[in-house]
DNA sequence: ACGGGGATCGGCT
DNA sequence: GCCGATCCCCGTA
């Protein structure tokens, strides 16, 4: 069962934390590939200079201004990144999915990624989109419909620790701990920075 | 029409 | 750490 719209219609920090351990599923031509989400980042509607919506709505970020539970997919260099849109329409927040632990369709994902190492298949937002064949064609896709691309609750109950730290690859608002990971997962895009070990701050 | 930059990745030093 | 690939999008004119 896909997660319902109510799951997404909450603040992005809550959604980012609760997405950990859920299953991201891609179906194509009767074949399923999927993975457990192990790393996310929240992008806030207000006061977050790193958020794509910070300077208002454009054609690129329009999905973030739409209803919750839709995909926001954007291209960067030769890669794609998948976000889930959070909060009500008009409140432009989202959660970036940064890493998955591969689950179903491992052989197919290995072929798409051109690697045999399972820990590198879904490690990174561009990499997981390559593994699951997610492209800009999925921008604004309704993730609650349970077709082609969706998120579902994990099959069984599981316990894990959540850790947080600064977001990857952003210079603005680097002090905010808006990156969330399943502690100790071998599938993370990068190790979590220890407290006090963030990006060097310019001295004066 | 043009120029610059980016929520990345992988390879190299 | 640094750099290049590679391309879409955005701001400016």
What would the pLDDT profile of A1-13 be if each residue is shown by its tens digit? 999 999 999 999 9
Q: Is A107 helix (H, G, I), strand (E, B) or coil?
A: helix
Decide which of A201 and A142 is more confident. Answer: A142
User: A105 — alpha (psi -120 to 50), left (phi > 0) or beta?
Assistant: left
The residue whose CA lies nearest the C1' of nucleotide C10 is A58
Residues 6+ apart with CB under 8 A from A196: none
Contact, A78 CB vs strand C, < 7 Å: yes
**CA dist., res. A8 & res. A71, Å (int):** 11
Measured CA to CA, the distance from residue A7 to residue A69 in angstroms comes to 8
pLDDT for position A174? 82
pLDDT of A195 reads 53
What confidence category does residue A173 fall into, taking pLDDT thresholds of 50, 70 and 90?
Answer: confident
Nucleotide nearest to A60 (CA to C1'): C9
C-alpha atoms less than 13 angstroms from C-alpha of A63 in its C-beta half-sphere: 21
C-alpha to C-alpha distance for A162 and A93, rounded to whole angstroms: 21
Q: Please say if the pLDDT value at position A197 is more than 80.
A: no
Separation in Å: C12 C1' and A170 CA: 25
CA of A30 to C1' of C12 (A): 47
**A62: which nucleotide lies closest, measuring CA to C1'?**
C9
Report the C-alpha gap between A146 and A174 in whole angstroms: 35
Spatial distance from the CA of A52 to the C1' of B11 (Å) = 29
Which chain B nucleotides are covered by protein, judged by CB under 7 A? 6-10
């Amino acid at each position: 069962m896909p997660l319902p719209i109510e799951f997404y219609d909450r603040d992005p920090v809550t959604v980012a934390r609760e997405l950990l351990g859920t299953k991201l599923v891609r179906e194509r031509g009767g074949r399923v590939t999927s993975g457990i989400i192990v790393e996310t980042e929240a992008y806030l509607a207000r006061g977050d200079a790193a958020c794509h919506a910070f300077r208002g709505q454009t054609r690129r970020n329009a999905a973030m201004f739409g209803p919750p539970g839709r995909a926001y997919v954007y291209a960067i260099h030769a890669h794609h990144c998948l976000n889930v849109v959070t909060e009500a329409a008009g409140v432009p927040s989202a959660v970036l999915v940064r890493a998955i632990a591969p689950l179903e369709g491992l052989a197919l994902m290995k072929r798409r990624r051109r690697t045999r190492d399972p820990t590198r298949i879904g490690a990174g937002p561009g990499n997981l989109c390559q593994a699951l064949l997610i492209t800009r064609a999925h921008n604004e896709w309704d993730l609650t419909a349970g077709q082609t691309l969706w998120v579902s609750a994990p099959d069984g109950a599981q316990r894990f620790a959540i850790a947080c730290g600064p977001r990857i690859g952003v210079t603005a608002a680097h002090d905010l701990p808006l990156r969330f990971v399943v502690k100790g997962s071998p599938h993370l895009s990068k190790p979590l920075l220890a407290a006090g070990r963030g990006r060097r701050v310019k001295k004066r």
